[in-house]
Amino acid sequence: MPKIAYFNGQYGPHHKAMVHIDDRGYQFADGIYEVCLVIGGRYWDMDGHLARMERSLSALRIRMPLGVASLQVVMNEVLRRNRLSDALVYIQVTRGVAPRNHPFPADEVPPALIITARRFDLDQSDAQAATGVRVITAPDIRWGRVDIKSISLLPNVLAKQAGVEAGAAEAWLVRNGKVTEGSSSNAWIVTDDGALVTHPKGHEILSGITRETALACARDLQIKVEERAFSVSEAQQAAEAFVTSATNLVTPVVQIDGVKVGDGAPGRVALRLREAYKARARRISGAQND
């Protein structure tokens, strides 16, 4: 069965969904994206994703391409046409198509909207979590509004590639001596007394929806949380470390720049938080299905 995508008002084969050469997303990375997790046919953390989408579009002065209700109808139709119940739904909005010129188009043009979906298994990263992953560090050379989920991701791509070439799963970005986040994830450490530490929200990080859910799970487990910056050396000397993202959920980090974290094995707190995250996702999805 061919994959089906939604692009600018129509549904069609994924491989035939084309972007206009003058689309400002293609020309200037003038747009935003979101990735939503679907479990058992139900959206997980949907409100958070749509709220961040609206914030990002507002910050870039791009209007919503559809109302929230209509957008959800299209997303559901993409899932239906692809026969998916457990999936990642990708949404991308750009300022639209206009002759190439840096300023906004003089005449208002409709935003361009693309929605795709692919199969996702909530347990697919279990093997990786069981062994833990390695990360390297890299300079954070991104722009000053990382909190906007922009499609302008070249610094992230370069950092991730550096990690791949070093045999690592992720690159933690460092600015002014402090870890901000990963190239495609949020970064966390666990102190000797069992507290979770992660960079506070602000313009320096993209506050991940998975990050917010992990914080909620920590509250449920009565784990202390400190939202503050931490250095690379503090991370290397921490009891545990881990990353959070929509695709990796909560994944332990066992090595940073070649230095073992803790005893070099996945930490108990990270694994406990991962199971709590998965249980929360399945519980809410199941409740919605009743």
Of 55, 87, 119, the residue at which a domain comes to its end is 119
**pLDDT 10s digits, 68-93:** 999 999 999 999 999 999 999 999 99
Phi, psi of 212 (to 5 degrees): -65, -40
What is the reported pLDDT for 288?
46
- 130 and 44 in a common domain: no
**pLDDT 10s digits, 178-234:** 999 999 999 999 999 999 999 999 999 998 889 999 999 999 999 999 999 999 999
- 104 and 131 in a common domain: no
**Catalytic annotation, residues:** 149
Of 102, 119, 136, the residue at which a domain comes to its end is 119
- 235 and 140 in a common domain: yes
Q: Please name the helix (run of DSSP H) or strand (run of DSSP E) that holds residue 66, with its range, or none.
A: none
Residue ranges making up the domain that contains 48: 4-119
Of 93, 119, 145, the residue at which a domain comes to its end is 119
- 81 and 28 in a common domain: yes
- Tell me the sheet residues that pair with 235: none
- 280 and 140 in a common domain: yes
- 184 and 70 in a common domain: no
- Tell me the sheet residues that pair with 104: none
How far is 262 from 255, CA to CA, in rounded Å?
A: 9
How far is 260 from 71, CA to CA, in rounded Å?
A: 45
- 163 and 39 in a common domain: no
- Residue 262 inside a domain? The answer is yes
- 166 and 113 in a common domain: no
Q: Which residues of the chain have pLDDT under 50?
A: 287-290
As for how many domains the chain has, the answer is 2
- 241 and 136 in a common domain: yes
Q: What is the CATH number of the domain that holds 74?
A: 3.30.470.10
